[in-house]
Amino acid sequence: MLQGWFLVFILFWVVVLITLFAIGGFFMFRKFLKRLPKEDGKSDMDWEEYYVEKTKSFWTEEQRALLDELVSPVPELFRDVARHKIAGKIGEVALKENASRLTLDIIIKGYILATPKRDHKFLRKKMNELNIDITPYEHFF
């Protein structure tokens, strides 16, 4: 039978492994749910990819640099995913407004709409750093 410090060591690792598996499973399940098709036959990720592809020609180098600057507060591990999600939302806004090119107004609207409510504090801080007036966009918050 297990006794003493070895028992404590084994129980510690059991708890650590179960916790890590639960955390990993949670994030994998979230990704799985985003891939499930909705009523229209497309998933959230399919629509995001559609908007990015449709508006790929709208982007200029300056606008891409602005997008990179806007997602810079996001931890590097998640930055590519955030950039793609925000670009998808910006593309959605551009297509809904029947725009033929992207403007700063469209980029800011898409950025605000793509950012989760819990991160709006960081969004406002980043906009202030870039000297972008957010008063016309207050109703999007």
Query: Could you read off the pLDDT of 43-102 as tens digits, one per residue?
Result: 888 899 999 999 988 898 999 998 998 888 888 988 898 899 999 999 999 999 988 888
More confident residue, 1 or 22: 22
Q: Would you give the DSSP letter of residue 12?
A: H
Query: What is the band of 33 on the pLDDT scale with cuts at 50, 70, 90?
Result: confident
- In the chain, the percentage of residues whose pLDDT exceeds 90 is 33
Task: List Cα–Cα distances, 54 to 7, 48, 93, in angstroms.
Answer: 59, 10, 12
What residue has token string 């950025």? 111
Residue 1 is predicted with a pLDDT of: 66
Exposure string of 47-65, with b = 16+ CB inside 10 Å and e = fewer, is ebeebbeebeebbeeebee
Residue 25 is predicted with a pLDDT of: 92
Neighbours of 119 (CB within 10 A): 14
Sequence-distant (6+) residues with CB within 8 A of 130 are: 69, 70
